[in-house]
């Protein structure tokens, strides 16, 4: 009798898992059908990268944050920059439509190395690196490890230090086991993300409103795919280790650096990541937007565009930092 009951229970669990798998696969197919790649592809050291290249003039390279992709920038910011700049937006390895062959490309330094090689392949000469959130940490890694390729840093709500904990919308991504990560990605991650969407977006954008078209025009739906969950989980796990040693190296930065933060950011703490950075790099151009949240690149696109242009013009006007660094 017990064996019979156990068999039924196992069969039911397997059926539930199969149903979750099929739902996840169907959702991913629907998302990719409706939001196909918008840009070009290039192979860098065996990694297939997806990117958008628009406009002309001095070059900006835009790097998105955790669980993001190029549409985060095209939603509101791209059109505000292409009149004056060549704007290149990259899906980081393992994000959007860029691939990540294995976990060795998850560390910040490894992603920075691939981006460095990407800049060389496209002939981007000392672009201004615009990094949002975790993309800011990768921009800093690029500047620390490959300073000759960075004209300036324009960081939007960047991660600059190791947070005390993973931000609430992303706390479910801190999974160390590759097997467990993949199992969750192909079963419960997608339905849970759909169920918690309103709360997560409110935290991500708040106190500013969530755009009605963020899911499509901003690429929010792309985060529902298993590959997006796996890539973001790898990023979280790697960043927790890499960020520990980075702040001690900031005093060696020799290019102009600007940071833009919303004072009401619900994801990251401006006191830690903005003011904390300025104490180590006194020449930083720091601007705080009163009442703004984390997704400044969409919710405060005019202010972000003006900030990026200011840092870019500063980089063009001088080869020295904004002020003595260190």
Residue 11 is assigned to a structural domain of this protein: no
pLDDT of amino acid 14: 76
- How many structural domains are present in the chain? 1
- Tell whether 161 is covered by a domain: yes
What CA–CA distance (Å, rounded) separates 236 from 165? 11
Quick check: is 54 in a domain?
A: yes
Q: Which domain holds residue 127?
A: 33-317
| Average pLDDT of adjacent 10-residue blocks, the chain of 326 residues | 68 81 95 96 94 96 97 97 96 94 83 96 96 97 96 97 83 89 95 94 96 96 96 92 92 95 96 95 94 97 97 74 36
Q: Which pTM was predicted?
A: 0.92
Residue 172 is predicted with a pLDDT of 86
In a domain, 64, yes or no: yes
The CATH code of the domain that includes 48 is: 3.40.50.1820
Residue 156 near residue 88, CB atoms below 8 Å:
no
C-alpha–C-alpha distance, residues 236 and 232, integer Å: 6
Q: Is residue 9 one of the residues assigned to a domain? A: no
> Is residue 130 situated within a structural domain?
yes
Q: Output the pLDDT for position 323.
A: 36
The count of residues in the chain is 326
Domain assignment of residue 4, yes or no: no
The number of CA neighbours under 13 Å toward the Cβ of 244 is: 7
Distance between CA atoms of residues 318 and 297, nearest Å: 26
């Amino acid at each position: 009798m017990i064996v019979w009951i156990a068999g039924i229970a196992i069969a039911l669990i397997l059926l539930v898992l199969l149903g979750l798998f099929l739902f996840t696969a169907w959702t991913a197919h629907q998302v990719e059908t409706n939001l196909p790649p918008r840009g070009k592809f290039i192979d860098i050291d065996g990694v297939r990268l997806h990117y958008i290249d628009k406009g002309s003039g001095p070059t900006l390279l835009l790097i998105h944050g955790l669980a993001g992709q190029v549409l985060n920038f095209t939603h509101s910011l791209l059109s505000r920059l292409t009149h004056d700049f060549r704007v290149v937006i990259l899906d980081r390895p393992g994000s959007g439509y860029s691939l990540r062959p294995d976990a060795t490309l998850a560390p910040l330094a490894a992603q920075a190395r691939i981006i460095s090689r990407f800049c060389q392949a496209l002939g981007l000469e000392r672009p201004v690196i615009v990094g949002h959130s975790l993309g800011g940490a990768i921009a800093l890694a690029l500047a620390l490890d490959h300073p000759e390729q960075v004209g300036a840093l324009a960081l939007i709500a960047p991660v600059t230090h190791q947070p005390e904990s993973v931000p609430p919308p992303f706390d479910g991504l801190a999974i160390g086991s590759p097997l467990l990560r993949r199992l969750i990605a192909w079963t419960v991650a997608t339905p849970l993300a759909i169920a918690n969407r309103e709360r997560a977006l409110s935290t991500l954008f708040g106190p500013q409103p969530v755009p009605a078209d963020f899911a499509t025009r901003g690429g929010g739906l792309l985060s529902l795919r298993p590959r997006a969950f796996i890539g973001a989980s790898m990023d979280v796990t790697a960043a927790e280790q890499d960020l520990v040693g980075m702040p001690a190296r900031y005093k060696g930065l020799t290019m102009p650096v600007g940071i833009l933060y919303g004072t009401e950011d619900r994801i990251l703490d401006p006191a830690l990541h903005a003011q904390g950075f300025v104490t180590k790099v006194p020449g930083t151009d720091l601007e705080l937007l009163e009442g703004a949240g984390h997704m400044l690149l969409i919710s405060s696109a005019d202010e972000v565009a003006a900030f990026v242009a200011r840092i870019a013009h500063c980089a063009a006007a001088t080869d020295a930092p904004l002020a003595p660094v260190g």
